[in-house]
Structures are given as C-alpha cells and as structure tokens.
Amino acid sequence: MDFVDISKQFVSKYYPRDHLYIAGALGIFCLTLLFVPDSDKGTAVPNKTTRIAIPVGLTATSSLQIPEAKPATELALEDFVVPDKPLLEDITLWRNIEVKSGDNLSTIFSKVGLSDQALFRVLNSSDEAEVLNRLYPGYQLDFMIPDSGELEQLRVLKSPLDGYLFTRHNNNYEVERILKEAQIQQAFKVGQIADSLFMAGQREQIPAVHIMEMANIFGGVIDFILDPRTGDQFSILYDEQFLDGEFIGNGQILATQFVNQGRTFTAVRYRDEEGEVGYYSPEGESMRKAFLRSPLDVFRISSNFNPRRRHPILNTIRAHKGTDYAAPTGTPIRATSDGRVIRASRNGSFGNLVIVQHSGGFQTKYAHLSKYARGIGPGDKVRQGDIIGYVGSTGGATGPHLHYEFLVNGVHQNPRTILDKLPKAESIDPSEIDRFRQQTASLLQQFEDLNTSRLLTLNQPSAD
C-alpha cells in the first residue's frame, strides 16, 4: 500500500467528513486574506469611532462633562484629572454624656478619652468653669474632640435652655453663656378622685411633679391623707415648654382648683412687687398657711396622736406624742413650715431625726428617716415644703414610716387639731390688692371658662 492510500485511511478514521468541510472553508478564507491590500499602502477604511476621555466627579454636586472629541493621538493628561474636591467632608463627632448619680468629672473625662491635664486646663480657664464642680444628675456634657485628640469644645447644659460653651483658644478656653428662650403653651387638665390624688393625676397624664405641687399648694387647707373623698374633683392649668417644636419640660402651675366634699378651693399664681411668687385665693388670701397639714403628700396614717397608746414593742401604756405616716422607704418628707434645723443626727429609738425650730415657739420633729436631704444640717434654714429627708425604718421602727411631732413652747400637741388654732400666713397687703387683681383677673377668667366648658362637656347626655 503506497503513502497516498495510507493517508486516506488515517484521515477517514480520525477526522469525520464534517470536520474536513470546516477545515477546507477556513483554508479558503486564509488564502483570500493574502490578496487584501495593506491599509497603509492603499485606500484606508475610515476610522468611524474616536476614543474620548470622560472625567468622573465623585462628589454629590458634580455632574458628568464630556469634552470635545479629539483624535486618540491628541489626548491630553487633563482629560483624565478628577476635580480637586475632597471625597468626604471633614466630620467632627460630638461625644454626649448625661451626668448620672455617682458620676464625677474625672471619670467622665476619662470615659471620652481625655487626660487629667485637659481637665485641669478647663477647670482653670475661667470663673464660669466652677459649674463643673457642681454637676448634678441630668446635666448634659457634650465633648467635641477632633482627630488630634485635643478637646476643641465643651458644652455644659444645665437644662436645654441654660448652659456654657467652652472653646479652645491656644492653650486656654474661652467661655460663652448659652441662654435660650422656650416657647410656652398652656395645658389644662381635670381629674376625679376614685382612689387617691396621685392615681387620679396619673390617669389624666398630669406630670407627677405638678400633682405633688398641687398637694403642696392646698396643703394648708386640705389634708390629702384624710380629707379627700371618692368623687372629689380637681383641675389644673399649667405651662409646657417647647424648644424648636420639641417638648422639653413643664413650667409653673398658673391656677388650680380642688373640690373637696362640696367645698371649692381655688388658687392662682401671683408675683408680688418684690418678685416673690405665691398662690392666693381669688380674694387675695394666701394659700400658704403657717403650717402644712401633713409632712407627706399622699400616704396613709398608721397611728394617730394618742396620750394613752399601748407601745407596739414594749407592750406598755406609753403616750404616742405624734402621728405616724406609713409610706415606702425613700418617700420625700417636707418641712411643714419655715424654720431653722437645730438637729439632724441619730437619736436612740427615733433613729435618724430632724428637728426644726420655727418662730413663735413652735417646733417639729421628723423621726426614723432613712437619710437626710442634701444640705440639711444644724443651722440650715428651710422653707415650707422643702424636702428635709426620706422615710425609713431606723431606730425603734417596726416598718418604714415617718413619726411626726408638733410642739408648742415645749409641750406636745396633736398636729392634726392644733393647726386650726394657729394664725394664717399673711395675705395680699391692702395697698397691693389692686395690683393683684389686675394681674390675676384675666387668668382667673380664663380658668373659670375652661372649668365651665369642661363641666358642660361632662354633663352632656351620651350619644348612645
């Protein structure tokens, strides 16, 4: 068998006919290309597309700009340059710290990564820096610390409306006062006693601080432990504070009314010529009596004044020379009148005891306290309604309660009956009564209209 026959057998065995057709076609195509003239030596096919450079801006405000088309041989470097703008703006973060009970300034500075040296520079920058030595829970401290790690600014807010701004200048800090004015809106709420004043106020979403303040305003004429009855009604008009449209707190009570067992008591806020603020009846009689009827606001009496009471521990007849008010540990205790603290210390079965001396030979005692209020010590002056301590069970107490005593010239008196015999606090001076009426007339009229409107609403028959 010659070479030609062997080749045919090999091709037919390993290369199918379809593959041979394809290979043949490719061969013819390659031969054809050999006869196509070179583009540099004959008529060239025109280049219908020209590459262009499109600069890309990465900032939000930049837009795409396409320059005029240039031949590829004339492209310039500036066609590829990105505009000279930072990709991201410099962002300085504020660290915000709210002062909590037990916090101190050194710990707070350390928490935000600042040294004691930075703290020292701020504290010694100005007289206003003294505010940092009197931090109270709720204060807001805002630290502006750039990448350098240095404190650039410190904002100290005692409230959303009042504070200081410390700004670094070289190695010292300049101080600016922050004073903002709130927008005031009035809120009017009414309630009805079904269980207690506090619960009735909560149902109507009245701030707890205003419930307590209302009890304090009427504390000289109503004993909120014994006097309230189911069905008693009350109303209150007070300010609410807003800053930039956001609620930031409650303002003063403007007027309030309590209907107790058919007797109506109304109080209106008034600022006298000397700037003192108080609450008065529409006739100008002060609601602030010589003594509050109770040193607590809304709790129950567990043991009354009784000169022949049997002692619960000793089981002997021993006079109970005061009134016991059962209340949870920590309940605030108020001074029932103006006076001076003459004792604030431990005293045998009384436990932690506060004694306040009042003018006119009156003295009050507050026993079994869990602790004393801040700033209460011998020699300190207190105002009626000031918190002097907190309910506890120290000494010979069998449970948390306040033991309250009332003495007149050294003789114990029943605090619940003696008050009716005491002189009332001073009312509006006759020379100032016209000023009082001018200042309160429109407010009292507004308050009366709101109460009348509310009563009409309540008395309307149901649509059902």
Residue 323: which CATH number?
2.70.70.10
Residues 236-285 have pLDDT tens digits of: 999 999 998 899 989 999 999 999 988 999 999 999 888 889 999 999 99
- The answer to whether residue 44 sits within a structural domain is no
Could you tell me the CA-to-CA distances from 218 to 87, 167, 255, 282 in Å, in that order? 65, 47, 12, 14
How do beta strands 387-390 and 332-334 pair? antiparallel
How far, rounded to the nearest angstrom, does the alpha carbon of residue 345 sit from its chain's CA centroid? 34
Rounded distance between C-alpha atoms, residue 277 and residue 254, angstroms: 11
Q: What is the pLDDT of residue 288?
A: 84
H/E stretch holding 220 reads none
- Looking at the structure, tell me whether residues 367 and 408 fall in a common domain: yes
Q: Are 222 and 228 in contact (CB under 8 A)?
A: yes
Residue with tokens 């109460």: 451
Q: What angle do CA 45, 47, 53 make, to 5 degrees?
A: 170
| Domain boundary pick from 152, 179, 206 | 179
Tell me if residue 148 falls in helix, strand or coil: coil
| Domain boundary pick from 128, 155, 179 | 179
Q: Which range has highest mean pLDDT (81-90, 104-113, 124-133, 363-372)? A: 363-372
- The answer to whether residue 113 sits within a structural domain is yes
Q: Are 372 and 344 in contact (CB under 8 A)?
A: yes
Provide the token pair at 357: 């001396």
- Looking at the structure, tell me whether residues 155 and 198 fall in a common domain: no
Task: Tell me the sheet residues that pair with 363.
Answer: 357, 407
- The answer to whether residue 63 sits within a structural domain is no
Is it the case that residue 20 has pLDDT exceeding 70?
no
- Looking at the structure, tell me whether residues 413 and 459 fall in a common domain: no
Compute the mean pLDDT over every residue in the chain, rounded to the nearest whole number.
79
Q: What is the pLDDT of residue 67?
A: 45
Is it the case that residue 300 has pLDDT exceeding 50?
no
Rounded distance between C-alpha atoms, residue 422 and residue 415, angstroms: 11
- The answer to whether residue 45 sits within a structural domain is no
- Looking at the structure, tell me whether residues 285 and 432 fall in a common domain: yes
| Domain boundary pick from 405, 421, 437 | 421
> Phi-psi bin for 187: left (phi > 0), alpha (psi -120 to 50), beta?
beta
Provide the token pair at 247: 């609620």
**DSSP secondary structure string for all residues of 311-349:** PTTT-SB--B-EEEEE--TT-EEE-SSSEEEEEEEE-GG
Give me the phi and psi of 201, to 5 degrees please.
-65, -40
Q: Which of 302, 289, 281 is nearest to 362 (CA)?
A: 289
Q: Are 237 and 186 in contact (CB under 8 A)?
A: yes
- Looking at the structure, tell me whether residues 152 and 186 fall in a common domain: no
Average pLDDT (94-108) is 89
- The answer to whether residue 463 sits within a structural domain is yes
- Looking at the structure, tell me whether residues 409 and 334 fall in a common domain: yes
Lowest mean pLDDT among 33-37, 203-207, 349-353: 33-37
The rounded percent of the chain whose pLDDT value lies above 90 is: 43
| Residues of the domain holding 397 | 300-421
Q: What is the pLDDT of residue 12?
A: 58
Q: Which of 159, 172, 94 is nearest to 131 (CA)?
A: 159
Is it the case that residue 230 has pLDDT exceeding 70?
yes
Is it the case that residue 438 has pLDDT exceeding 90?
yes
Q: Are 318 and 311 in contact (CB under 8 A)?
A: yes
Q: Which residue type, as a one-letter code, is found at position 412?
A: H
How do beta strands 332-334 and 339-346 pair? unpaired
Q: Are 317 and 310 in contact (CB under 8 A)?
A: yes
Is it the case that residue 426 has pLDDT exceeding 90?
no
- pTM for the model: 0.60
Give me the phi and psi of 158, to 5 degrees please.
-70, -30
- Looking at the structure, tell me whether residues 349 and 451 fall in a common domain: no
DSSP character for 417?
H
Is it the case that residue 323 has pLDDT exceeding 90?
no
- Looking at the structure, tell me whether residues 314 and 355 fall in a common domain: yes
Tell me if residue 98 falls in helix, strand or coil: strand
Provide the token pair at 445: 């009229």
- Looking at the structure, tell me whether residues 159 and 130 fall in a common domain: yes
Higher pLDDT, 76 or 267: 267
Q: Which residue type, as a one-letter code, is found at position 334?
A: R
- Looking at the structure, tell me whether residues 99 and 137 fall in a common domain: yes
Provide the token pair at 26: 């490719």
- Looking at the structure, tell me whether residues 398 and 338 fall in a common domain: yes
DSSP H helical segments within 160-207, as ranges? 197-203
- The answer to whether residue 136 sits within a structural domain is yes
**What letters, b where the CB count within 10 A reaches 16 and e where it falls short, cover 158-180?**
bbbeebbbbbbeeeebebeeeee
Average pLDDT (382-402) is 92
- The answer to whether residue 276 sits within a structural domain is yes
Q: What is the pLDDT of residue 383?
A: 92
Residue with tokens 């003063």: 252
- Looking at the structure, tell me whether residues 166 and 110 fall in a common domain: yes
Average pLDDT (204-232) is 86
Q: What is the pLDDT of residue 171?
A: 79
Can you give the CATH number for the domain in which 451 is found?
3.10.450.350
- The answer to whether residue 294 sits within a structural domain is no
Q: What is the pLDDT of residue 2?
A: 54
Residue with tokens 């604030």: 344
Number of domains, the chain? 3
Is it the case that residue 418 has pLDDT exceeding 90?
no
Q: Which range has highest mean pLDDT (292-301, 321-330, 399-408)? A: 399-408
Q: Are 324 and 302 in contact (CB under 8 A)?
A: yes
